[in-house]
Amino acid sequence: GNSVTQMEGPVTLSEEAFLTINCTYTATGYPSLFWYVQYPGEGLQLLLKATKADDKGSNKGFEATYRKETTSFHLEKGSVQVSDSAVYFCALRDNQGGKLIFGQGTELSVKP
């Protein structure tokens, strides 16, 4: 069945460091891919998405490219800020019914 695997956390970085959170998936067909973020005390928010191979999703300085050949959707940001501290979830959308399949989440802590 469909599944998502993302790097385990927690990840601790200094402000302005480069961030990569790896995400790989297993799926039949060509699902849409997402990154969701949960800031402390808040609900899940969509950070970015990509709906087909080679698409690049971007938002708030974060980017991820849909790589069909490596079945990956790694999240990157060139310079993280303290306000980026949150839990990040990679997900794919099932082509039937639209349910989301999530990875286990990666907690990011950015220190000043």
Partner 1 sequence: EAGVTQFPSHSVIEKGQTVTLRCDPISGHDNLYWYRRVMGKEIKFLLHFVKESKQDESGMPNNRFLAERTGGTYSTLKVQPAELEDSGVYFCASSQVSHNTEAFFGQGTRLTVV
Residues at the contact surface with partner 1, assessed by CB under 8 A: 4, 36, 41-46, 49, 89, 91, 93, 95, 97-105
Give the contacts of 42 (CB within 8 A, at least 6 positions apart). Answer: none
**DSSP string spanning 12-54?**
EEETT--EEE-EEEE-SS--EEEEEEE-TTS-EEEEEEE-STT
Minimum distance from residue 79 beta carbon to partner 1 (Å): 27
Closest CB to partner 1 among 17 and 109?
109
Taking the complex as a whole, the smallest distance from the CB of residue 71 to partner 1 amounts, in Å, to 17
State the nearest-atom distance from the C-beta of 43 to partner 1, in Å.
4
The rounded distance, in Å, linking the Cα atoms of 81 and 76 is: 13
Residue 36 or 62 having the CB closest to partner 1: 36
Alpha-carbon gap, residue 24 to 78, rounded angstroms: 20
- Closest separation in Å from C-beta 41 to partner 1: 8
Q: Among residues 11 and 44, whose Cβ is nearest to partner 1? A: 44
